[in-house]
Structure 1
Amino acid sequence: MEIWLFIVIIVVTLLVGGALGFYFSQRYTKKYLAENPPMTEKMVRAMFSQMGRKPSEKQVRQVMASMNLQK
């Protein structure tokens, strides 16, 4: 086998493997975050209460909406 063909096959294999790895890891991460959000409404309420405030439902929804926009 020619040496240049061997090198081309290795480079192409590495590029395809890297692209597939990136795609599947990104897909897995998005799925995981959708199933297990980093912050829930309960956590927002707890955060407000630790600051000594009683949040209204509107405030909780605003915080959750801003968190969803950050994604």
Structure 2
Amino acid sequence: MFWYVLTAVLALAAGVAIGFFIARRYMMDYLKKNPPINEQMLRMMMMQMGMKPSQKKINQMMAQMNKMEKK
């Protein structure tokens, strides 16, 4: 009976550890492929759309994006 419990606990601990490292690796790869938007990227997107970006407008859009991200 003791060996069953010990085996179950060890298997659970190994599963949690392996799952953590797999999830960490997945998130690092995802962020490398899809970096979060920063002010420079936002400025470039606005210029491509034909808008002349002012710092005030960029700050407003970054604040709005951060607000949406927190929800």
Name the counterpart of 1:12: 10
Tell me which residue corresponds to 1:65.
none
Deviating above 6 A after TM superposition, structure 1's stretches of 4 or more consecutive aligned residues are none
Query: Using the alignment, how far apart are the partners of 2:3 and 2:57 within structure 1?
Result: 68
**1:13 and 1:52, CA in 2 relative to 1: closer, same or farther beyond 3 A?**
closer
- 3-state DSSP of counterpart to 2:36: coil
- 2:22 counterpart of 1:24: yes
Q: Distance in 1 between matches of 2:57 and 2:37?
A: 19
* TM-score w.r.t. length of structure 1: 0.59
SS of equivalent residue, structure 1 residue 37: coil
The reply to whether residue 35 of structure 1 matches residue 2 of structure 2 is no
Q: Provide the C-alpha distance between the structure 2 equivalents of 1:24 and 1:8, rounded to a whole number of angstroms.
A: 24
Cα distance, 1:49 vs structure 2: 2.7
Show structure 1 runs of 5+ residues with no match.
54-71
What are structure 2's unaligned runs of at least 5 residues?
A: 47-52, 59-71
* 2:56 match: 51
Query: % of aligned pairs identical?
Result: 33
1:38 partner SS: coil
Q: How many pairs align?
A: 49
